[in-house]
Structure 1
Amino acid sequence: MVAPPDDDVLRARALHFQYHDGSPALQGVSLGVREGEILAVSGPRGSGKTTLLRCLAGLVRPQRGEVWFTGLPVHTMGPLARERLRRDRYGWVDPAPVLVPELTAWENAALPLMLRGTGRRRAKKAALEWLDRLDAGDSARRRPHELRRSERQRVCIARALAVTPAILFADEPTAPLHRADRAPVLRTLTTAARSHGITVVVATDDQDTVALADRALCLLDGRCVQTVHLPSPDGPDGPDGTEGPGAVGAAREAGAAAAPGAPGEPVPTEAPAASEVTGAAGTGGAAGSAGPAPRVVGPEGRAACSLSV
């Protein structure tokens, strides 16, 4: 067992996982995430996004494959070691807001800090700062049953960010929010992550969330089918002030450039075998990969997409 390169804070190699009924959830997924990077794991419902995040975060053990965090083999750790790792180094946001009903909003947000040994006053200050940044400061002294679902989710996000984790795993973090509330919460989450050097792995099928990430990894039936490098300009406008393609447009253009046939005619792509899955340049691929994936050059000469075929 060989540790991955030091430039990846998190790396997975050829992950396999099956449900109790024998149906596959992950089939040879490999990926690498650099420190401070925001990676969006996208795909349709049932594609394996949540299972992948749970394996990466040490909530479940993959049945085959490896997970490494800063050179530590998470896949070989016992339950107590993985629990300490999640408490001390990770943050987690569920799609459904789960809070301790007896505690106020700020106490819920400060709870992980106090479990780490942080003093009550200091933990309260950090919790209130994050609640304010997420527009939930007015809810600080209320208990969960007094809050709307969207307010409870903001408290959960504040709780995950207050500890300044090395990696934040977010499973559909904006699912309980109204569409109008999603953009400011996502901007706060991504801006905070970049300013504090927090690595973020977010599972989502929301294209607004994908557009805020540095890179998007697409899953289909438990396999990694493509990795999309998102355009560098901030916002929808390109460098010349015209409307840029955005994340979805870049992926569509890359796919059109790579696909043979008539323009605009979709060409079905067969999901790659586990041994053929290859991530984006610098993120690594599955063990035993036959070689680097072909690259598709997008706008401005940048590699817009790396496809496994």
Structure 2
Amino acid sequence: MEAPPDNDVLWARSLHFTHRDGSPALGGVSLGVREGEILAVSGPRGSGKTTLLHCLSGLVPAQRGEVWFNSVPVHTMGATARERLRRDRFGWIDPAPVLVPELNVWENAALPLMLRGTSRRRAKAAAMEWLERLDIGDRSRSRPHELTQAERQRVCITRALAPAPSILFADEPTAPLHRADRNHVLRTLTTAARSHGITVVLATHDPDTAALADRTVPLMDGRRVTTVHLPPITEPEGRAAEPEGRGAEPEGRGATCSLSV
């Protein structure tokens, strides 16, 4: 078993994963992530991005291959050790916001800290700092059902950032947000990661989001490729389409992302 390079905080070799229905999700993906790097995993839906993040974070063990975090083999850990690793060192943002309905906004945001044993006062202070940065501090005492979906997603992003994780895994983190909100949230996320030395692994099918990363790993059909043709980004029903202009793709056209890996 070969140890990963010293300058990689996260390293994976030849990851394979097949879904229960027999369809392949990963077909031998290898990559390394440097400490403090923002890495985008890009590709269309169904390309294996989410499965890759699940395997890298230890949420789901790869069926074949190796995953190392700070030279520690995650792929040999048991379920309890992987759960502890995710709680203490990793942060996670899902594409759909999921909050504890019985807790208010700041309690939801502070929950990972309190689970680690941080005092309620210190956990609240850390959560409030990030809620303010994400422009939702004024809703700190609201319950999840009183928030819009976009507001709930900001709380989820706060919950992931407040504990200052070593690595933040973000799976389409701005999917529920209006286009106007995306740039602000993404800039807050990337600026916070750089200022706090947080390594970010970001899955996205949006080329504008991938462009904010230091480096991009494109996937297609569960394998690394050098060119990805991305489908056009469509707004959810009920949202007005943006006029064509700088940075927008004309209607009906996809985006081509040519990248060196």
Establish whether TM, by shorter chain, passes 0.5: yes
* 3-state secondary structure, aligned to 2:225: strand
For residue 11 of structure 1, give the secondary structure of its aligned residue in structure 2.
strand
Q: Residues 198 and 250 from structure 1, CA distance in 2 versus in 1: closer, same or farther, beyond 3 angstroms?
A: farther
Between the aligned residues of both structures, percent identity stands at 76
TM-score normalised by L of structure 2: 0.88
Which residue number in structure 1 is paired with residue 161 of structure 2?
161
**Larger Rg: 1 or 2?**
1
Shift of 1:167: 0.1
Larger relative contact order, structure 1 or 2 (CA cutoff 8 Å, min sep 6): 2
**Runs of 4+ off more than 3 Å:** 249-252
Task: Indicate if the aligned counterparts of 1:14 and 1:64 stay in contact, CA closer than 8 A.
Answer: yes
Distance (whole Å) between structure 1 residues aligned to residue 189 and residue 110 of structure 2: 17
Question: In the alignment, what sits opposite 1:73?
Answer: 73
Measure the CA separation in 2 of the matches of 1:60 and 1:168. Answer: 16
Structure 1: unaligned runs, 5 residues or longer: 229-242, 244-248, 255-304
8 Å CA contact retained: 2:35, 2:197: yes
User: CA RMSD, aligned part only?
Assistant: 1.9
Distance between the aligned counterparts of 1:2 and 1:13, measured in 2?
10
**2: CA distance, partners of 1:226 / 1:197:** 28
**How many equivalent residue pairs?**
238
**Which residue type is aligned with residue 33 of structure 2?**
V
* Pair 1:107-2:118 in alignment: no
* 8 A Cα contact 1:25 1:51, kept in partner: yes
Q: 2:145 & 2:257 partners in 1: Cα distance? A: 42
In the TM superposition, residue 161 of structure 1 has moved relative to its aligned partner by 0.2
Q: Distance in 1 between matches of 2:256 and 2:227?
A: 11
Q: Structure 1: which amino acid aligns with 2:66?
A: E
Query: Do the aligned partners of 2:227 and 2:257 also contact (CA within 8 Å) in 1?
Result: no
Aligned to 1:18: 18
Q: Distance in 2 between matches of 1:48 and 1:250?
A: 18
- Deviation per CA, 1:52-109, whole angstroms, max 9, x where unpaired? 0000000001000000000111111000000000000000000000000000000000
- 1:226 is displaced (CA, Å) by 2.6
Match of 1:29 in 2: 29
Cα distance in 2 between the residues matched to 1:199 and 1:94: 17
State the 1:131 CA deviation: 0.3
Corresponding residue for residue 171 of structure 1: 171
Aligned-partner Cα distance in 2 for 1:251–1:61: 30
Shift of 1:208: 1.7
Distance (whole Å) between structure 1 residues aligned to residue 196 and residue 186 of structure 2: 15
Q: TM-score, normalised by structure 1?
A: 0.74
How much has 1:227 moved relative to structure 2? Answer: 8.5
In structure 2, the partner of 1:206 is 206
Output the amino acid matched with 1:181: D
The 1:8–1:47 alpha-carbon spacing in structure 2 relative to 1, beyond 3 Å, is same
